[in-house]
Structure 1
Amino acid sequence: MEPNVVIVFKIENKNYLTVSDLSEKGEWKTFEINRGDDFDSFNHEEHKPRVGKGYFITQDDMNIMVEEINKHIQKCPQTLFPGEKHWSNTVSAVHIVSPEFAAGPLRVGLERPKIVIGFPDFLSIGPLRNLDEKIGQKLRNEWLHENINFEQDDYVYLNKFTNTLREIDDISDHVPIYIWCGNNADEQTGLRFILYLLRDKKNDIFIINSTKFYQRYITSKVEEQYVFSTGQIEAKNLKLIFEKSIEGKPLSDRDRKQFNKEWETLSQSKEVLRLWINDEIKGVPEHHFDTLILETIEKLHQEQGNKEFLLTARVIGEILKQMNEVIGDFFLEYRIRHLIYSGVLELKGIPKSMRHYRIRMR
């Protein structure tokens, strides 16, 4: 950006960073050097920082900086923090779950010492091709950016995705790995992708089907309630499920190869919507839920007695009550916008999020 300016960021700990971390926290200092070719020999501890002058940094440049800092944290942990043990050498198990929101109850419910990695994505939607590589992540990010209102800053999704891949890669070979999943396309797709990422690791890997064990051990003790995802289960019940399933055997090499094969097939599919049908992940057309969306709006209009505009968030809430599948509200909002642009629905407001606009049938 400036040929004689050096910006120094202080790495405080081993946690990987996002663009928002750089802009909201962390210690920065700015230095000037005589010529650009002095950079290689520059040591900030031998110079005084400049005071009273700031620089505007674009999101693109911030993302480049984040990637460089995170690469350094991963590559040189002992240089940065001499004498500290790697985190995976101090825990008894690593638990991985997708999507990320399901990690919270696991962190609360499971005994320490353990690490819980929440995968920051909803893999029942969007393209999957080459997702373990930068090119696939970029293509997926572009599709999400063009279609899904995640209501977050540019690059934050990509940063968090890449950082999670780093955390998985950092797992030491001796620690057992538990992958949690429910009977839904989101978590089952995540299971296969995570196992693919772990394909070269020698760890014992266990699969805990949270919804299956919930039906076996929990629903007989409480009011009958069917759950579809790990994130629906309370922390205390996740602890019970783990205690009941801990005696299971790790995945065999044969099973691991089969899951990897299934991921390779999934990653070649062109569908951007997947459902869990008859214990299999099935790709369906992206307009699969459009009829349900329109029927729900018609029903709400009938309850009104007229065709007043309906808050989009309310419509999506009503749709989710009728579904036996874990489909994020973000995807349904995407399909509602498609029906607006297609002239089927009428819009009032600005569709920057489901809380900011209303809809009705034309």
Structure 2
Amino acid sequence: MEIEEMRKKIQELNDGEAKSLLFQIFLRMNLLKETEYSREQFLHDVENIYKTIDHVANKKSELKKEESFKRVHILFGASPAGSLKVALKKMRTKEEKVLSFWDMFSIGPVWKLHETPGEESRFDWIKTVMNAELEEFQDYKQQFQNTVHQIMSIPEDVPIILWVAENAHEQTGLRYVLHLLKNKPNEIQVLNTTELYAEHFHQPDIIYTVLHTGEIPPEKLQVIYAQSKSNSLLSQQERENLEQEWLSLAENKKTLRIWRDGRIKCVDVDYFDQFIITKAKELQIKRQHKGEADEFMKSARIIGEVLGYLEQYVGDSFLEYRLRKLIEKDIFEVEGSLKAMRFYSVRLKR
């Protein structure tokens, strides 16, 4: 690090941080004189202090950049958020921030999710029901809480754009976020990616409906955003209506939601079970023609088949959870370990 650059980084430190680091150096100088603390260890520790100054200054610099953004985008899923970041980069848009939840809001309890008991209830469900490692769960929990904090910390003069397709996952997320923002006067715009994709990329000879925003590649998100900046903002009445819809959802204790006739509907957790069984039967019929009818099928093969035909967006993890429930009910036989989808195969019981 250049001397002048180091000088600037030190100037970024407040009095408490500077005094603490100086004390650490003096403490080690005293240890060097009065104990068996070696010069090598002293140099090693000073180097770490040097790195700490660099790290703290860089963090402060990043926070300053964060505070300078002029628009915030909120999406539901890592995939659409990543695609939008690529699109914004291509547009050379540097002062727009992208926030996203990794969550799947069509599944799991959303009862009182805007309050601590509801949040903990959802975390407990995710931890016990979904087939995930503890480390993955901790990452999920931390990311969820960080995103909520970032949304609540958006300055009141910064416009917000919410990207949502017509599915229970993103539409539930939309209503949850609007409730989080209920006391903020920010301008809020909602981009309906299902409608906008059809508007900008409709081809008469191809029937295609965007199921979720993550299906749209960056170059098409770029077009949608560039041509949608003039879309009308949510009115106060529209915001209040959506916030009220959230409060209704947050009173329901069911753990599965679907999108039907332009609305979110809460359904029983076994709603897709018969569809899974039907697709498994169809696969086995196909395998009969190949002489493979009695063989076990990889669980991922069945889940993939269900996803390919399902007109709802719930994700493979939830469908795999339901497959495990069908195994428990003795509808499927299993071969292998249920620790993760890749470790086991199934077949319908005769």
- 1:356 positional shift: 1.1
Which residue of the partner structure matches residue 278 of structure 1? 261
Matches within 5 A, 1:105-254: 105-110=83-88, 111=91, 112-113=93-94, 114-151=96-133, 153=135, 154-220=137-203, 223-254=206-237
CA distance, structure 1, for counterparts of residue 78 and residue 248 of structure 2: 24
- Report if the CA contact (8 A) 1:88-1:171 is conserved: no
Q: What are the Cα deviations for residues 142-165 of structure 1, in whole angstroms up to 9, with x where unaligned?
A: 111111124461422111111111
Q: CA RMSD in A?
A: 2.6
Aligned with 1:101 (options 79, 84, 87): 79
Rg (Cα) greater in structure: 2
- Cα pair distance change 1:319/1:81, threshold 3 Å: closer
CA distance, structure 2, for counterparts of residue 103 and residue 226 of structure 1: 20
Aligned with 1:347 (options 330, 334, 348): 334
* TM value normalised by structure 1: 0.76
**In structure 2, the residue corresponding to 1:94 is in which secondary structure?**
strand
- Report if the CA contact (8 A) 2:157-2:186 is conserved: yes
CA distance, structure 1, for counterparts of residue 73 and residue 303 of structure 2: 31
CA distance, structure 2, for counterparts of residue 149 and residue 81 of structure 1: 35
Q: What are the Cα deviations for residues 227-281 of structure 1, in whole angstroms up to 9, with x where unaligned?
A: 1111000111111111221101211111111111110100111110100000000
Q: What are the Cα deviations for residues 22-65 of structure 1, in whole angstroms up to 9, with x where unaligned?
A: xxxxxxxxxxxxxxxxxxxxx655544999xxxxxxxxxxxxxx
**Which amino acid is the alignment partner of residue 135 of structure 1?**
P
- Cα pair distance change 1:270/1:238, threshold 3 Å: same
Which residue of the partner structure matches residue 324 of structure 2? 337
Aligned with 1:321 (options 300, 304, 308): 308
**Which amino acid is the alignment partner of residue 104 of structure 1?**
G
- Report if the CA contact (8 A) 1:178-1:208 is conserved: yes
Which residue of the partner structure matches residue 264 of structure 1? 247
CA distance, structure 1, for counterparts of residue 112 and residue 212 of structure 2: 26
**Which amino acid is the alignment partner of residue 211 of structure 2?**
F
CA distance, structure 2, for counterparts of residue 236 and residue 83 of structure 1: 31
**In structure 2, the residue corresponding to 1:211 is in which secondary structure?**
helix
CA distance, structure 1, for counterparts of residue 300 and residue 263 of structure 2: 30
- 1:325 positional shift: 1.3
% of aligned pairs identical?
A: 34
- Report if the CA contact (8 A) 2:193-2:210 is conserved: no
**Which amino acid is the alignment partner of residue 136 of structure 1?**
G
CA distance, structure 2, for counterparts of residue 233 and residue 222 of structure 1: 19
**In structure 2, the residue corresponding to 1:313 is in which secondary structure?**
helix
- 1:225 positional shift: 2.4
CA distance, structure 2, for counterparts of residue 82 and residue 105 of structure 1: 27
Greater alpha carbon shift after TM alignment, 345-354 vs 132-141: 132-141
CA distance, structure 2, for counterparts of residue 199 and residue 88 of structure 1: 22
Q: Which runs of no fewer than 5 residues in structure 1 stay unpaired?
A: 1-11, 13-42, 52-77
**Which amino acid is the alignment partner of residue 103 of structure 1?**
A
- 1:90 positional shift: 2.1
Which residue of the partner structure matches residue 311 of structure 1? 298
**Which amino acid is the alignment partner of residue 230 of structure 1?**
T
Q: What are the Cα deviations for residues 90-111 of structure 1, in whole angstroms up to 9, with x where unaligned?
A: 2231100012321011111123
Q: How many residues align?
A: 297
**In structure 2, the residue corresponding to 1:326 is in which secondary structure?**
coil
Greater alpha carbon shift after TM alignment, 85-94 vs 165-174: 85-94
CA distance, structure 2, for counterparts of residue 290 and residue 82 of structure 1: 51
- Cα pair distance change 1:350/1:266, threshold 3 Å: same
**In structure 1, the residue corresponding to 2:123 is in which secondary structure?**
helix
Which residue of the partner structure matches residue 41 of structure 2? none
**In structure 1, the residue corresponding to 2:98 is in which secondary structure?**
strand
- Cα pair distance change 1:240/1:148, threshold 3 Å: same
Q: Which runs of no fewer than 5 residues in structure 2 stay unpaired?
A: 1-8, 10-22, 32-36, 39-55
* TM value normalised by structure 2: 0.79
- Report if the CA contact (8 A) 1:92-1:176 is conserved: yes
**In structure 1, the residue corresponding to 2:227 is in which secondary structure?**
helix
Greater alpha carbon shift after TM alignment, 300-309 vs 147-156: 147-156
**Which amino acid is the alignment partner of residue 344 of structure 1?**
I
